[in-house]
Amino acid sequence: MVTTGPPPTQNAGGRYAITEECDGCGICASYSAYSFAASADAGRYFVVRQPVDGSEEEALLRDAMQQCPLSCIRDDGQAT
C-alpha cells in the first residue's frame, strides 16, 4: 500500500493507540500496514487508521499488539 501526505505525528483518534514507549522496531506495521505508519524519522510508529470492530484489520492489529516487544499498543476499549 502506498501512502501519501505527511508522516504521522500522533495516533488517529479512536480505540487503539501506540504509547511513547515505542522504539520504532516496526513489528506492528509488519502485521498491519493498514493501521500503522512510521514517524518522519522512523523513531516510532503511530496508529494511522482505526480498524472497524470485528474486521480482519482489527484482528491483524490485535496480533500486532500481542507481538509488540514493548507492549506499547493500547486498547482503551472505547470504539468510535
State the total domains in the chain.
Answer: 1
- Considering the entire predicted model, what is its pTM? 0.86
Q: Residue 38: which domain range?
A: 16-75
What pLDDT was estimated at residue 1? Answer: 45
Q: How many CB atoms lie within 10 A of CB 74?
A: 15
**Cα dihedral: 31, 80, 4, 19 (round 10):** -60
- In this structure, what CATH number is given to the domain that contains residue 46? 3.30.70.20
51: in domain: yes
What pLDDT was estimated at residue 80? Answer: 54
Tens of pLDDT along the chain (80 residues)?
Answer: 445 567 788 999 999 999 999 999 999 999 999 999 999 998 999 999 999 999 999 999 999 999 999 999 999 987 65
21: in domain: yes
- CB neighbour list of residue 22: distance below 8 Å, 6 or more residues apart: 44, 45, 70, 72
6: in domain: no
